[in-house]
Amino acid sequence: MSQKLIECVPNFSEGVNLDIIKQITNEVESVAGVRLLNVDPGKATNRTVVTFVGEPAKVIQAAFLAIKKAGELIDMSKQKGEHPRMGATDVCPLIPISNISMEETAAYARELAKRVGEELQIPVYLYEQAQPNKGRSNLSVIRAGEYEGFFKKIKLPEWVPDFGPAENDVKRGATVIGARDFLVAYNVNLNTTSTRRANAIAFDVREAGRVLREGDPVTGKIITDANGKPRSVPGSLKAVKAIGWYIEEYDVAQISMNLTNIEITPVHKAFDEVCTKAAERGMRVTGSELVGLIPLKAMLDAGKYFLHKQQRSVGVSEKELIKIAIKSMGLDELGPFIPEERIIEYLLKDKANNKLVSMSLAAFADETASESPAPGGGSISAYVGALGASLAGMVANLSSHKKGWDNRWEEFSDWAEKAQLYKDELMSLVDLDTIAFNRIMESFGLPKSTDEEKAVREKTIQDATRYAIEIPFKVMQAGLNSMDVIKAMVLTGNPNSVTDAGVAALCARTAVLGAFMNVKINASGYKDKDFVVDIIYQGNEIERKAIALEAEIIELVNGEIL
């Protein structure tokens, strides 16, 4: 069964004393099976965002230990910072990552909150999906008044904590624990030091907008409706919370945003909207800052968005898309932006699954030529197929930027993007084919002394064999699919690159036929004959189509060059 994973992103009210931060993160790392992904301290905010991931029970234990240690080391009666806060551990959200529902994650959040309240005697409030009372599920509403105001607030009947004592802890304050979707904390830098002007932009863009006032928009009397409730004008961005502040460390004002649903408002849209609103108010955006981690898709979508605005092909490598996103949003203005340290998928990536594709060309050739049986024909087939898809993408990109073809850039951009998808899939299959082979070898090494051991061994061998059939079959499918792009590039692409497309066809055909050999040899040892008959039938069809397409493409290429 696939592993259940949740992420925890506690915010601690200490961003200056690195020794205190290290003692807190040491508690996280003391729990086996929990992986510390990121530690992001901020001096001006006096706040550190910590990110770790693991199986739910282990994450709960790590979070509890970190909250306990933070309460021992951080004295809220002396804490000051730009960011709103109410406790040593200000907020501790749990986020579902894989194979777990939001409902399950919320249950774990309530379990953690109960333990913190009862064992540590810290007042705890539930928020977001963990809070059944939606009237007090919003973090900013809970935190209103901050640490200083909570000594009175906590005594109000409507603000009795969900767990723990109804008494604000002088040293540790109170804590908010909950479950939420993935949130991106994102700050946009302005060419001003005015908090008031930054706030004006924040009110322009945040979903809650601004309260209407008579006369002066900041100090004027609040305008109310017939029921006495304040009237407001919503901002331009949905699923966005924002405030303006001045960061002394950088000597700039920022729009500090929480993007609570990046499917609704992605990072690049938030950045562009702040640019627009800043310009309307006579200011300019100089760059931006990511706090914590970001999903890979958000960075890739941003890269494509900015390339599209330039009317350039988006069918470029993942690395290039990320580079465009960083430069377009100025994510490296205040410090280096290292993708391997800021993108969550990169931090979770298992290096063993990328051993071969991480090698240099020379090292890969040497590894192939060694006495080890892997990588073998399956991995080489996948790699040759990836080279064919890469060549197709090259022709598409050259065509997209060809002088005089400006009105066709989007057409070729679409082809280039498809080529990149096939290339990426085939590259991932390079290592997976070798992993599949190794699984078979490992299963043959299992003990077989008893009937029970023999049964386990046989099942493991059969499962590994099926996997070793399915991986090269995927190579066949991806190789054949890439030939649609290759043919299109021969027919409509830059004529100066037609031979490159021809070579791509040769690579794709090799990938299909080579992978099919691996399918067949592995299928010979698989006992589910219905599955074998079906996979071989499909393989024969793919092979037939690939051979026919290659012949057609080569004939077209030769017609152009002879």
Report pLDDT digits (tens) over 40-60.
998 888 999 999 999 999 999
Print burial letters for 138-147: b (CB count within 10 Å at least 16), e (below 16).
Answer: ebeebbeebb
Spatial CA neighbour of 298 closest among 264, 273, 256: 264
**Residue 41's beta-bridge partner residues?**
48
Residue 503 and residue 388: Cα distance in Å, rounded?
Answer: 7
Q: Torsion over CA of 450, 451, 455 and 460, rounded to 10 degrees?
A: 10
**Residue ranges of the chain whose pLDDT lies below 70:** 1-2, 217-219
* Residues annotated catalytic, as ranges: 83, 433
* Tokens found for residue 354: 């990328």
Which helix (DSSP H) or strand (DSSP E) does residue 326 occupy? helix 318-329
All structural domains of the chain, each given as residue ranges with its CATH number in brackets, are 5-179 (3.30.990.10), 184-348 (3.30.70.670), 351-561 (1.20.120.680)
CA distances 69 to 333, 393, 394, Å, are 33, 52, 54
d(CA 456, CA 448): 9
Running DSSP on this structure, what letter comes out for residue 76? T
pLDDT of residue 2: 59
Instruction: Report CA-CA distances (Å) from 532 to 265, 439, 521, 528.
Output: 47, 19, 11, 6
Q: Is 190 helix (H, G, I), strand (E, B) or coil?
A: strand
Q: 319: exposed, middle or buried (C-beta count within 10 Å: 0-12, 13-18, 19+)?
A: exposed
For residues 87 and 168, is the Cβ–Cβ distance under 8 A? no
Chain length of the chain? 562
Other beta carbons within 10 angstroms of residue 533's beta carbon come to 11
CA distance 267 to 302: 7
